[in-house]
Amino acid sequence: MQYGFVKVCAATPEISVADVEFNTKQIIKAIKESAENGSQLTVFPELCVCGYTCGDLFNQTALISACENALKEICESTRGLKTLVFVGAPIEVRGKLYNCAVAIHSGKILGVIPKTYLPNYGEFYEKRHFSPAPEKTGTVTIGDIDGVPFGSKLIFKAENCPEFTVAAEICEDLWAPQSPSISHANAGANIIVNLSCSGETVGKAEYRRNLVKMQSAKLVSGYIYCDAGDGESTTDTVFAGHNIIAENGCVLSESKLFENGLIYGEIDVEMLAAERRRVSSGYFKNGGEAEDYSIIKFDTDKSECNLTRKFSKTPFVPSDGLSERSELILTIQQKGLEKRLKHIKSKTAVIGVSGGLDSALALLVTCRAFKALGNSLKDIIAVTMPCFGTTEKTKNNSLKLIESLVVTAKTVPISDSVLQHFKDIGQDENKHDTTYENAQARMRTLVLMDIANQTNGLVIGTGDLSELALGWATYNGDHMSMYGVNCSVPKTLVKHLIDFEAERLGGECGKVLKDILNTEISPELLPPTKDGKIAQKTEDLVGPYILHDFFLYYAVRYGFKPSKVQYLAEHAFEGVYDAQTIKKWLINFYKRFFSQQFKRSCMPDGVKVGSVSLSPRGDWRMPSDAEVKLWLDDI
């Protein structure tokens, strides 16, 4: 177990109704298989020891006694295994029969959790045989084992991994308005297991999947739903073995219907614990009903988990529904700008267009806002400001884009102004240092601000989230604007949004946008090469944006330690970047992220579009003089 990943298993073995001996062998076989595959938590279906569909056979002493003996045999089979196992069995307690989840670990029964809500409609008639869970936790004797904790409020906690905490509910409990898992999560359970036997009907699988996803999201938890399958009686219903492993609203693994077997997933309990700490409502912070719970300790295997789950190289970019998501993001940007334009009664919008990605996106968003407001696109003043580093390609693409969008073009060469400024401050124009570069950026901002004053306009910022994270902006240069439409859009997402707009708009505009997408990212503040190509390539200087966006997502969104961010990056970028390259740019990311906070502390307004934003007003409040040592030491 490394970096909080717990390998879990949902196991649906073939069973035979009321054939406890056969079922026991199948369960033991599955336990051993899951343990061999590294599972630290294995869950079986509801009443799997005897079969859920036994009907009035549950009233037979022979069946109850056989199940009791089976539990001892299953328990014995787990000796030496570090896998926490939940199996379903009927348990008699003081003259009442309960539908239970039995927790077993390393040769010991740790606890018994009875079902709280008993369905009694349609094909279900559990109240005919079972009693609901008692309100208070007590103990039960199973065979010759005394003092086994018994009740619905049990949490199983790994002593050597305190974030690995598990609680159980059974089938109908999930469907109930006040599911036991709600109080389980509030009391500290990061993983919920559900032992189920859910008959299959048309449309039920989709409903079940959505229910599990939403419960895991609502509770910020892992959720393992293990369903009965082939072998249950088909007198009235068939059972599909629909197993689902979910984490915080995402399905990690899911079985095919009507295929018994084992599915696996890795649940990140470290992430879940961090996410709960972050939740502002405090729901998970006050301990809730924890005082009513019994905490039962166990040991887990802490060796490295063989990580099989995939991590996207571009976590900010949706893996599906890209068109719908792109349209939504652009609309959010547009609506933010619309409100600002209306509020200050701005007549024009002034934007510097460089022929690069960010200014292209900002211009596209501004056009959308003007169209929505019914304003003339001619009141968008797109300014090109060629200087020492401007190439013909970027200059021409700027002009083509402006022309294709039918906005007002204005060209203001700034070379002479910058050279005069160099003379005024005593800067050698042949010394290509930071002053040489930043003087150009600040001159461009001065031009834009003054044109906005001339035209009663608003300067639209073009800088994106990735640049804010790295501080890759000239303070009071491109760092400053009157409204930043791209401020929470990372570079990897900028590319997809432009590609989306290129396809949507088509024609000459689409062509030039495609060409902009294929242009190397550069601030163009140093003179071009002798053959007129871009000499200053951003990603050669600060590192690949695809890596930095990955770092940013996991460092800020989840607060992971740098070593975990590196571990995930090595996993996601295997075969693309080696470990040393990832480490090099990760160190650079943290150094820049900490040293450049002062630029974010006074960043202009701009709308949030995703789960990560660095606005000092809405999301990220960090002292500008915080030390990075702790984070570098972890790397």
Q: Tens digit of pLDDT for each residue in 523-551? A: 888 898 888 888 888 898 999 999 999 99
* Closest C-alpha among 413, 394, 319, 398 to residue 362: 398
Q: Nearest CA to 608 among 495, 439, 485, 502?
A: 485
**How confident is the model at residue 279, as a pLDDT?**
79
Q: Which of 9, 68, 82, 115 is catalytic?
A: 115
User: In angstroms, rounded to a whole number, what is the distance separating the alpha carbons of residues 469 and 298?
Assistant: 42
* Cα Rg of the chain (Å, integer): 31
Distance CA 509, CA 140 (A): 74
* Catalytic pick among 171, 197, 387, 487: 171
Give the model confidence (pLDDT) of 361-414 as tens digits: 999 999 999 999 999 999 999 999 999 999 999 999 999 999 999 999 999 999
Q: 10 — alpha (psi -120 to 50), left (phi > 0) or beta?
A: beta
Rounded to 5 degrees, what are φ and ψ at 603?
Answer: -70, 150
What's the whole-model pTM score? 0.93
Indicate the DSSP class of residue 268: E
Domains of the chain with CATH codes? 5-298 (3.60.110.10), 322-634 (3.40.50.620)
pLDDT for the residue numbered 248 = 97
Cα 311 from chain centre = 10
pLDDT score of 525: 83
Q: Which of 496, 480, 487, 497 is nearest to 464 (CA)?
A: 487
Known catalytic membership, residue 275: no
Q: Rounded to an integer, what distance in angstroms lies between the CA atom of residue 166 and that of residue 156?
A: 5
**Residue carrying structure tokens 């609901």:** 132
- Cα distance between residue 280 and residue 385, in whole Å: 45
Contacts of residue 454, Cβ cutoff 8 Å, sequence gap at least 6: none
The CA distance from 549 to 314, in Å, is 7
Read off the pLDDT of residues 34-69 as tens digits, 9 standing for 90 and up.
999 999 999 999 999 999 999 999 999 999 999 999
Residue range 148-175, pLDDT digits in tens: 999 999 999 999 999 999 999 999 999 9
Q: Show the low-confidence residues of the chain (pLDDT under 70).
A: 1, 280-290
Give the pLDDT score at 282. Answer: 61
Q: What's the confidence (pLDDT) of residue 281? A: 63
Backbone angles phi, psi at 302, to 5 degrees: -100, 10
Separation between Cα atoms, residue 619 and residue 612, nearest integer Å: 8
Active site residue 171: yes
Give dist(CA 90, CA 403) in Å, integer.
75
> Of residues 7, 9, 46, 564, which has the active-site annotation?
46
- pLDDT computed for residue 593 by the predictor: 98
Structure tokens at 144: 């010759």
226 is catalytic: no
Rounded to whole angstroms, the Cα distance separating 351 from 383 reads 6
